[in-house]
């Protein structure tokens, strides 16, 4: 077992659903009176280390901290930092975390935030690790549901697009399956389907889900439709991407088949998967959702900085020094010094960084 000395947010499921709800409710209070919170992080410094492109996540985190009265440091392009000289993840994050009170990190490899948390000297927030997880987007989505639907329970939620590579939908399924009466409808092609390990988690929690490759067929039963971009950067070749990129396009005509109170979310950026004629429909919530992202990150930063030293388990399984994770994009392959930790699941081993499963030896 390896513990962290800090209150990290690597995966929402490391925290209780009460903890998430407190963050969401607090964010809702902030939406109603942001000025009240203008000084709560006075004197605090947040570092944002973005190894991958970002507009909303990075800027909403930065404005969140600035609106709380704190300041920010960081990079949004590793090519302008010592990463370009070959510095490893451990050294960069160890040093930056000794300068800052809280660190937000996005990285193209699955498990990177957990890897950084092993040695960091302040709390780490995962702002997206490869195709794996994006917990603060899920907090944003929860706040949107809370404000716009008035509940996080008894909802039929359609997830449409690249469910294989989209980290936002993985985090959402893991978290929302904890609430009563949630039913997911996975709307994707076979190639872009939801990973089996997420379906296993839903089954273990008795959360209902179904699969329907047709958006037109599925849309009428939904309380929320979550559109996603086909994740170009996660494809092995341009051809594979081009073959799938326009698989699902929500336009006004399809939206006309939805319920009058079905809200449409998208983590953004959108490419072609929602036509612009949808933007003015009152059910289109994606721009508002992006703004909620700032408020929920204010609530999150405040919550963590009030109690930054909650020791928590980071690695709970066992080391298998000679076993390699089967996921080529797992951080353990890029950063070879990381201890290889797996959880035993019957005859399978599950990597503790990226959740990939392989047969045990
Ligand atoms: C998402 C991401 O980075 O995973 N964007 C975001 O954070 N708002 C979705 C995406 O890039 O498609």
Render pLDDT for 273-298 as a digit per residue (tens, 0 to 9). 999 999 999 999 999 999 999 999 99
What's the rounded Cα separation, in Å, for the pair 339 and 175?
A: 27
Closest-CA residue, ligand 1 atom 6, reads 267
Which protein residues are within 6 Å of ligand 1, measured from CB? 56-57, 128, 134, 137, 167-168, 229, 267-268
Domain 135-290 -> CATH class = alpha beta
Residue 187 has pLDDT above 90, yes or no: yes
For residue 53, the CA-to-ligand 1 centroid distance in Å is: 9
Which residues 6+ apart lie within 8 Å of 42 measured at CB?
Answer: 69, 70
Checking if the pLDDT of 360 tops 90, the result is no
The reply to whether omega before 269 is within 30° of 0 (cis) is yes
**Distance (Å, rounded) from C-alpha 7 to C-alpha 156?**
32
Confidence of residue 361 (pLDDT cuts 50, 70, 90): low
With a threshold of 0.85, does the pTM exceed it? Answer: yes
- As a whole-number percent, the residues of the chain with pLDDT over 90 amount to 97
> Does residue 94 carry a pLDDT above 90?
yes
- Domain 2-134+291-312 adopts which CATH fold? Rossmann fold (3.40.50)
The atom number, within ligand 1, closest to the CA of 127 reads 7
**Domain-wise residue ranges, the chain:** 2-134+291-312, 135-290, 316-359
- Asked if pLDDT for residue 176 goes beyond 90, the answer is yes
Q: Which atom of ligand 1 is nearest to the CA of 267?
A: 8
Q: Note the pLDDT tens digit of each residue in 31-46.
A: 999 999 999 999 999 9
Output the CATH code of domain 316-359.
2.30.30
Compute the distance between CA of residue 199 and CA of residue 208 in angstroms, rounded to an integer: 10
Output DSSP code: residue 124: E
Distance between CA atoms of residues 203 and 205, nearest Å: 5
Residue 59: in which H helix or E strand, if any?
helix 56-67
Alpha carbons 290 and 284: distance in angstroms, whole number: 12
User: Do the domains 2-134+291-312 and 135-290 sit in the same CATH topology, yes or no?
Assistant: yes
């Amino acid at each position: 077992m390896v513990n962290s000395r800090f209150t990290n947010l690597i995966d929402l499921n490391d925290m209780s659903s009460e903890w998430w709800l407190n963050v969401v409710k607090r964010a809702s209070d902030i939406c109603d009176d942001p000025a009240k919170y203008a000084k709560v992080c006075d004197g605090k410094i947040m570092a944002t280390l973005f190894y991958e492109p970002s507009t909303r996540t990075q800027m909403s985190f930065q404005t969140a901290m600035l609106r709380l009265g704190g300041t920010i440091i960081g990079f949004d392009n590793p090519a302008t930092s010592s990463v370009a000289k070959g510095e490893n993840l451990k050294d960069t994050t160890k040093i930056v975390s000794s300068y800052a009170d809280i660190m937000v990190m996005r990285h193209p490899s699955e498990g990177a935030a957990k890897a950084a948390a092993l040695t960091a000297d302040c709390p780490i927030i995962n702002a997206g690790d490869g195709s794996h997880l994006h917990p603060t987007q899920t907090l944003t989505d929860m706040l949107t549901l809370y404000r716009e639907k008035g509940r996080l329970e008894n909802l039929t939620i359609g997830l449409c697009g690249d469910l294989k590579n989209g980290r936002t939908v993985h985090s959402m399924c893991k978290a929302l399956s904890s609430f009563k009466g949630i039913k997911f409808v996975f709307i994707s092609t076979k190639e872009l389907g939801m990973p089996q390990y997420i379906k296993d988690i839903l089954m273990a929690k008795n959360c209902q889900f179904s699969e329907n490759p047709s958006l037109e067929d599925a849309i009428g039963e939904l309380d929320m439709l979550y559109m996603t971009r086909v994740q170009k950067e996660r494809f092995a070749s341009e051809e594979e991407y081009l073959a799938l990129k326009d698989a699902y396009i929500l336009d006004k005509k399809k939206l006309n088949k939805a319920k009058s109170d079905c809200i449409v979310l998208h983590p953004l950026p959108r490419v072609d998967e929602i036509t612009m004629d949808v933007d003015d429909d009152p059910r289109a919530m994606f721009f508002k959702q992006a703004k909620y992202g700032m408020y929920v990150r204010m609530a999150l930063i405040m919550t963590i900085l009030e109690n930054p030293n909650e020791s928590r388990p980071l690695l709970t399984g066992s080391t298998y020094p000679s076993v390699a994770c089967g996921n080529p994009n797992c951080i353990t392959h890029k950063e070879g010094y990381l201890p290889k930790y797996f959880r035993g699941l019957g005859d399978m081993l599950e990597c503790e960084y990226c959740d990939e499963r392989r047969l045990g030896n």
